[in-house]
Structure 1
């Protein structure tokens, strides 16, 4: 009996070598906006991908993005498949010797960025490398590894749109759902800075001469909470909000002249986003002399799963000869952009594990191998 494609791909995989590859990526700590580490990891990945296709690094003010074009090996002309990943993590340099040390034991690999999403980078590279080694058919493959995904892809989004032009499908390499299901649809994500400018004065000698930016900010957050609750009541389940940071002032004897809040919103629909943004745009000062400034730090559109996404999910299961479940996810990623454009998109091709953005971050090594086999099988099928 002839070997299946999946079995042939699995035979190409060396778990120890894959663990070593992932270990190298994890030990090269690469937090968002660290330009030196971003350039280093982009260079490392570019060197690996150059053996398979044409790799180029796109420097930006946020870091070094990597774009790769791998030529097809197919009997007929096919459209490209886009593989989306990111090289930045939420962890600062020094985490490895601090709260999230690296370890491998009992089939579990732990370390900062292991799950989100350096293991996903290994999956995409290893799968394409296996297809090349076996000389199996593959469609043209585009790879985009963003440098600032964890902070909203402010500089990468234009590259994502450009790379997605003319592709037949987009696969994202974020983690799957805990049970391994792929992600089909995502909430939109908008991050804003709400800043208040007041007027400083001596808190005892001239209390009325000042305008407290902190008190004004507190009042504005109360207004925002009330108005967002109103939108949520009209659109149940479509809005999430988190005030993730508040800062301002500095001395108890000075009326504070500046304060700000960092706020994250999640939206299930464009209409919910529009309603909440209208609330933000309509905020007005409570105190005479206070000034409100609103800055949108990043914005990803909601991706509602389409019939094309569902058809791609079914096709993946058919090609893999497996039941491949998929459902929407709360987190946002660069697949929000492609999915919202109507391009058939699936995310969650990274391996199973857990602890994203937490000290318990880990990857299941058996799943790492399974995901490589799944991706390789699907890619050759799409050729």
Structure 2
């Protein structure tokens, strides 16, 4: 490790210093992206945000080319920056945020006491800025690098249903995928993510008077209440499996046997075996009252990713060590599009975006002083040997 640290140290520190000297410019570009609202559910704003991002990347990456894969909400922006060495690395990110239109008006981008705030700043517009600056730094400092392909979708926060096949096809054959999702602290990298299963269960029963004729009814609410207990019992914290019934609604009045009910379920699993176990147990369950009909819709939105790429992890460790930062590898419960590309057989390292916290919340923030370090980390991973 000492030899590897020495080999990358000078170049990595040069990138960090280059980025630190341009920190005001980095923050200004971040401000533009954050104040350009891109809610997942607003195709007009997403298209406008994609245009802003595309124009900026093409201006920053000399000689790059851009294309749009697909159309509509599942479209993917692809920007290619040819390299001076063999090979191709993918930088993976998303443009959409969970915040509704108008949020920026109430909470515009701002920096206070070294902390940048604003909707989507941490998840994950700062990651996009860091990825673009990492390539720009390598080129400005005339450091050899492979070709880089930036892939940015606009439906990640709603499951990447339209973009997943486009991402897999566009990343095919890449040497590695570096995911620009947020990190946490300066040394964070994410080496595994749980899979996410999402289901909706609708129960249809028979309405009846709860006092005069209860036996004539078949309660959909009672059926889903029993199913809730069954599902909660499927959780296995020791194996990393969690089950959450986040929505449960049904019925009309307390004196009416409910003829309809609906539930929404979120399952997280570390392994394919656990994912299959929970799926089978959900599908096999039936209500005690056979007159209640269940309709189960959904499945695994993103597969578990539990096979880290050791070469990428050791490279990140060496790059960070050369900057005086200890690597902080983490396994997390939240999934990303990195899960999809890992399942396609590509080496993936995730969580390479900003230091900060508060994803999806009003207190979402980024530590400005860490931006040059994170840019240098990405540059070191891109440059490789």
Q: TM-score range by the shorter chain?
A: 0.7 to 0.9
SS in 2 for 1:50: helix
Cα-to-partner distance string for 1:161-210 (whole Å, 9 max, x where unaligned): 21331111111111224463211111111111122123445667765554
The 3 A distance-change label for structure 1 pair 65 and 281 is same
Which has the higher mean CA deviation after the structures are superposed, 269-278 or 61-70? 61-70
- Aligned match of 1:71 in 65, 82, 89? 82
Cα-to-partner distance string for 1:127-148 (whole Å, 9 max, x where unaligned): 1222333343221111111212
SS in 2 for 1:88: coil
- The number of aligned residues is 369
In structure 2, the partner of 1:368 is 371
2:130–2:374 CA contact under 8 A, matched in 1: yes
In structure 2, the partner of 1:23 is 31
User: For structure 1, which runs of at least 5 residues remain unmatched after alignment?
Assistant: none
- Aligned match of 1:261 in 260, 263, 269? 263
In structure 2, the partner of 1:311 is 311
Cα-to-partner distance string for 1:276-316 (whole Å, 9 max, x where unaligned): 0001111212323221111116521111134xx12221123
Which has the higher mean CA deviation after the structures are superposed, 271-280 or 171-180? 171-180
The 3 A distance-change label for structure 1 pair 210 and 116 is same
Are 2:230 and 1:219 equivalent residues in the alignment?
Answer: no
Give the structure-2-normalised TM-score.
0.87
- Deviation at residue 57 of structure 1 after TM alignment: 2.1
Are 2:353 and 1:346 equivalent residues in the alignment?
Answer: no
- How many angstroms apart in 2 are the aligned matches of 1:29 and 1:14? 25
1:202–1:255 CA contact under 8 A, matched in 2: yes
SS in 2 for 1:243: strand
Cα-to-partner distance string for 1:241-296 (whole Å, 9 max, x where unaligned): 12222233455565443322111111111111111000111121232322111111
The 3 A distance-change label for structure 1 pair 27 and 272 is same
1:246–1:261 CA contact under 8 A, matched in 2: yes
RMSD: 2.5
- How many angstroms apart in 1 are the aligned matches of 2:222 and 2:109? 44
- Aligned match of 1:89 in 78, 85, 97? 97
- How many angstroms apart in 2 are the aligned matches of 1:123 and 1:243? 37
Alignment of 1:104-119 (within 5 A): 104-119=111-126
In structure 2, the partner of 1:6 is 12
Alignment of 1:177-216 (within 5 A): 177-178=184-185, 180-200=187-207, 209-216=216-223
- How many angstroms apart in 1 are the aligned matches of 2:95 and 2:265? 24
In structure 1, the partner of 2:290 is 288
Are 2:155 and 1:152 equivalent residues in the alignment?
Answer: no
- How many angstroms apart in 2 are the aligned matches of 1:376 and 1:132? 10
- Deviation at residue 19 of structure 1 after TM alignment: 1.6
In structure 1, the partner of 2:360 is 357
- How many angstroms apart in 2 are the aligned matches of 1:369 and 1:96? 25
- Deviation at residue 152 of structure 1 after TM alignment: 2.1
- Aligned match of 2:172 in 165, 173, 186? 165
Which has the higher mean CA deviation after the structures are superposed, 250-259 or 369-378? 250-259
Cα-to-partner distance string for 1:94-153 (whole Å, 9 max, x where unaligned): 33345x554311110111111111110111111122233334322111111121212222
- Aligned match of 1:125 in 125, 132, 145? 132
- How many angstroms apart in 2 are the aligned matches of 1:89 and 1:367? 22
